[in-house]
Structure 1
């Protein structure tokens, strides 16, 4: 039945039109038209109320420097832009100051990058050393099983260093030095029993001394690992700073080229453009040759 009811033709309900005696007022307003008009009316009303509140709370002693450069005409603010019209001489002086500042900043960044490069032991401008350390082994099996730390006699955390790479013997010496040296031997007695006891005491002290040395060595190795991580992090930050300094120096060089080109173009002499701006670089001009004298 539901499908049959939907198939039956229904009456088309038409919207009521404007009565004849009110046709001079236009088309009859529907709800969607009223809603649009009401929203616009309330938006304007809220704006006026906000302006009234702002005017009522205004400080009579309020002052802005922009008041000197604007005035009211027909109830509207009009900015006086005469102060923005700078003379050509003043513009030239300002551009010269900009050029001097850019050159100073470029020089500072370049010097800072050079100091960082010397500190990081860089050998070329790319930041990658050209020196290599070649180790020769007897067979391919030895090459596959080659261990850098064992070959140089250091800990794995220091194997990748090209400088300040301590050997295990040096680390052990540092541990023994911090420990304070070997213990003094005790005097032996007259009978055999006392001598046996003294030898046992000495062996126990030596074992304790060796144990303390191993503990001290492990502690020192942990400190070395922590120091290696700290140095690696500091070196990474220094490399990032070096890269940013170089990029900024290049940007300053580009800005300097633009200002120098503008200064030369604004000068005297007949010239023509031979190459347009390309990839941020300034345009290139060619001046007509002029005979001197």
Structure 2
């Protein structure tokens, strides 16, 4: 009972405040504040120590290409731009090579999709295997016939083993991913082909929506007919 009485009459302890003659230094620092400040100070000390060791062990004869590829701009090292300026003929040649590479990848992807689709089609249409059973007497033969007739009534999805189901599901996911990749490649190929054609000489204009005969997703351009000389 005396312990419970002491709990109710416990005096609330207040934190020690800054002395009057130290009011100019702000709020009095607590121990937890000192611990955080000490950890940050020692962490900076360790970083500086490691950097000094790395600088002391550095080979003065080592060479970096950035020593000659950079220049000082407002006290900051800037990498000089060494991009080569290509001519229009070189750009057209590189674009042609890129288009040829995309066309090659499109054909390869189409062959893989066709091969995978045919394999899945053959698996879906495959009939369950026929088993031959040998019975010793008529009673056992009737029992085997009854069991086999019950198995035939089950759907094909139940008769297929789980491993085949899992591999088939993986193949279907791969087929969908390859179809999406083929669609993206064809779209990129058409865009690059259009950009290449737009770089050719000749007067051209972009058709309005009411002038387009066949529905399309991208812009359509029409070149002015010129007489060959």
Q: TM-score range by the shorter chain?
A: 0.5 to 0.7
Quote how far apart the aligned CAs of 1:128 are. 4.7
Aligned to 2:212: none
Quote how far apart the aligned CAs of 1:17 are. 0.9
Deviation per residue, 1:198-224 (Å, 9 max, x gap)? xxxxxxxxxxxxxxxxxxxxxxxxxxx
Aligned to 1:163: none
Aligned to 2:104: 104
- Unaligned ranges ≥5, structure 2: 128-144, 153-159, 210-215
CA distance in 1, matches of 2:19, 2:8: 33
Quote how far apart the aligned CAs of 1:18 are. 3.9
Aligned to 1:257: 190
Classify the secondary structure of the residue corresponding to 1:62: coil
Deviation per residue, 1:5-49 (Å, 9 max, x gap)? 2222514323221432x3333333222322222222222222222
Is 1:26 the equivalent of 2:26? yes
Q: TM-score, normalised by structure 2?
A: 0.54
CA distance in 2, matches of 1:86, 1:273: 36
2:121 to 122, 127, 132: 127
CA distance in 1, matches of 2:194, 2:225: 23
Is 1:271 the equivalent of 2:210? no
| CA-based RMSD | 4.7
Classify the secondary structure of the residue corresponding to 1:284: coil
Q: In structure 2, do the counterparts of structure 1 residues 132 and 24 end up closer, same or farther at CA, with 3 Å as the change threshold?
A: closer
CA distance in 2, matches of 1:106, 1:127: 22
CA distance in 1, matches of 2:220, 2:98: 25
Greater Rg by CA: 1
Aligned to 1:83: 82
Q: How many pairs does the alignment contain?
A: 184
Aligned to 1:6: 7
- Unaligned ranges ≥5, structure 1: 134-140, 149-159, 161-231, 275-281
